[in-house]
Amino acid sequence: MRLCDKNIQQLLTFTIRMTFRLSNSKLPDVKTTIFTEMSLLAQQENAVNLSQGFPDYQADENLIKYLGNFAKQGYNQYAPLFGIKELREEISRKFNLQYQVDYHPDSEINITAGATQGIFTIISAFVEKGDEVIIFEPAYDCYEPAIILNGGIVKNVKMFYPDYEINWTEVKNLTSEKTKMIIINNPNNPSGKILKQKDINELISIVKDTNIIILSDEVYESITFDEKPHLTLAQYPQLKERTFIAGSFGKLLHITGWKIGYVCAPSDMMKEFRKVHQFNVFCVNTPAQFAIAKYLQNVDNFKTISSFFQRKRDYLKNALQETSFQLLDCEGTYFLSANFGAISDAKDKDFCYWLTKEHKVATIPFSAFYQDKTDEKVIRFCFAKKQETLDKAIEKLLKIKV
Ligand code: PMP
Ligand code: GLN
């Protein structure tokens, strides 16, 4: 759905009006997200929107047809709180097929309203006042507010341009009895980096003999490039026993607006998750769950997604190599990022505004993914776009003068 200015203006007015009535905000530093801000600006400026991560092409018509059919057939009432069995079974089968990992569909898998709700519910179910949670920056935006709302304390480990490697010594030093959770995002939004075996080994050694819970946000698990494998934490028994995996069909099936995701975890952890989930959302969209379950029965419907996105990544990458952007190595996700230092000295957010207004291409500044707004002059392009959109953007980006 395209955002309309009127909605945003109403939202902002509401926020301002509430400020007069409330003396304290539970999230004083939180503003409207950068994804909303840049998509709105793109719309206002009539710019090509490579900012917020969503495909601008239609999902497979079979999937859409299934959705309509299930709604017509009367699958329109509450789904079970765990999610429909058919979908949980397909997720279980997919884990087994792709990673040779077993999750029991009844006790270890739950369907969620997108990964966002799964992540919020996991954090709410486990993080208590004073608990420390380690996150890695640049960090996707939904972790920190959820931790703070539950009284937790965010401990940041920063990753830096150009490698965005995790400094495991720093992680080790930050870990104590107060550490309740470590949140991993692999493949990483926005850097496009994926974890390697050496990273996994470090993580295993850090959590060994602790009660630390891991939340592994793997929403881009199916999008890795150049034959590099996605290493799900579920593959490692020492990690699986303490890990929640969060996934999303938005990415796998090009349907971010359906907001259907899932979480997987050992049954004792899932039990606690469900205590919160049942009051947080209770259950999620019924016909969409049936449609996805039917669609996943055919493995051909999702097994080529990496090559589909690799073609798009390569297309954008080859074109941008003709510009003065310094491109990051994108190993996964549908984001290609670049340093613009050779083009401008501006702050990254100012540069994104300038690029949108002057060159009509909207992107996301990396500083938005750091609590202290670390600015290394890096911006993110989303390439989950139809050819025509990428061509339009490329044409404009090639005109930037240094
Ligand atoms: N985690 C990451 C890293 C994301 O990029 C996103 C959004 N694309 C989400 C979680 C949320 O996924 P969903 O849209 O399924 O809520
Ligand atoms: N995950 C999307 C991105 O990174 C944004 C989703 C949202 O707007 N909340 O662009």
Q: pLDDT at position 22, please? A: 66
Which residue of 51, 116, 183, 218 sits with most ligand 1 atoms within 8 Å of its CB, as the best mutation to test the pocket? 116
Name the residue with the closest Cα to ligand 1, atom 14: 114
Query: What's the CA gap between 197 and 191, in Å, rounded?
Result: 18
Question: Ligand 2 within 6 A of 189 CB?
Answer: yes
- Ligand 2: atom nearest CA of 364 is 10
Give the right CATH number for 27-56+304-397 from 3.40.50.970, 3.90.1150.10, 3.40.350.10, 3.40.50.300: 3.90.1150.10
Find, among 198, 192, 147, the residue nearest to 168 by Cα. 198
Q: pLDDT at position 41, please? A: 98
- Ligand 1: atom nearest CA of 251 is 8
Structure tokens at 136: 């890695």
Report which bound ligand comes closest to the CA of 112. 1
Positive or negative torsion for Cα 10, 43, 31, 179: positive
Distance 74 CA to ligand 2 centre (A): 32
Question: Ligand 2 within 6 A of 261 CB?
Answer: no
Find, among 251, 219, 397, 386, the residue nearest to 311 by Cα. 386
Query: What's the CA gap between 40 and 364, in Å, rounded?
Result: 12
Question: Ligand 1 within 6 A of 138 CB?
Answer: no
CB 274 within 8 A of CB 266: no
Report which bound ligand comes closest to the CA of 49. 2
Question: Ligand 1 within 6 A of 140 CB?
Answer: yes
Q: pLDDT at position 24, please? A: 86
**pTM listed for this prediction:** 0.95
Helix (H, G, I), strand (E, B) or coil at 156: strand
Residues of the chain with CATH 3.40.640.10: 61-299
Distance 270 CA to ligand 1 centre (A): 20
Query: What's the CA gap between 270 and 385, in Å, rounded?
Result: 36
Give the right CATH number for 61-299 from 2.60.120.1440, 3.40.640.10, 3.40.718.10, 3.40.50.10950: 3.40.640.10
Q: pLDDT at position 13, please? A: 59
CB 170 within 8 A of CB 191: no
Q: pLDDT at position 1, please? A: 47
> What residue has token string 């920190």?
144
- Ligand 1: atom nearest CA of 54 is 8
CB 92 within 8 A of CB 103: yes
Distance 253 CA to ligand 1 centre (A): 13
Query: What's the CA gap between 135 and 59, in Å, rounded?
Result: 33
Distance 263 CA to ligand 1 centre (A): 13
Residues of the chain with CATH 3.90.1150.10: 27-56+304-397
Distance 73 CA to ligand 2 centre (A): 33
Helix (H, G, I), strand (E, B) or coil at 237: helix
Strands 153-158 and 378-382: unpaired
Query: What's the CA gap between 124 and 54, in Å, rounded?
Result: 27
Query: What's the CA gap between 165 and 158, in Å, rounded?
Result: 9
- Ligand 1: atom nearest CA of 260 is 15
- In 11-131, DSSP assigns E strands to 48-49, 109-112
Question: Ligand 2 within 6 A of 114 CB?
Answer: no
- Ligand 2: atom nearest CA of 219 is 1
Question: Ligand 1 within 6 A of 53 CB?
Answer: yes
Distance 110 CA to ligand 1 centre (A): 16
Peptide bond before residue 190 is cis, with ω within 30 degrees of 0: yes
Neighbouring residues of 303: CB distance < 8 A, sequence distance ≥ 6: none
Distance 252 CA to ligand 1 centre (A): 11
Query: What's the CA gap between 52 and 38, in Å, rounded?
Result: 7
What is the pLDDT tens value at each position of the chain, 402 positions in all? 455 556 656 665 556 555 556 678 999 989 999 999 999 999 999 999 999 999 999 999 999 999 999 999 999 999 999 999 999 999 999 999 999 999 999 999 999 999 999 999 999 999 999 999 999 999 999 999 999 999 999 999 999 999 999 999 999 999 999 999 999 999 999 999 999 999 999 999 999 999 999 999 999 999 999 999 999 999 999 999 999 999 999 999 999 999 999 999 999 999 999 999 999 999 999 999 999 999 999 999 999 999 999 999 999 999 999 999 999 999 999 999 999 999 999 999 999 999 999 999 999 999 999 999 999 999 999 999 999 999 999 999 999 988
Q: pLDDT at position 390, please? A: 98
Query: What's the CA gap between 165 and 167, in Å, rounded?
Result: 6
Structure tokens at 394: 């490329």
Q: pLDDT at position 18, please? A: 59
Distance 115 CA to ligand 1 centre (A): 6
Query: What's the CA gap between 396 and 49, in Å, rounded?
Result: 12
Residue 16: how many CA atoms within 13 Å on its side-chain side? 6
Distance 368 CA to ligand 2 centre (A): 12
- Ligand 1: atom nearest CA of 261 is 15
CB 263 within 8 A of CB 122: yes
Question: Ligand 2 within 6 A of 53 CB?
Answer: yes
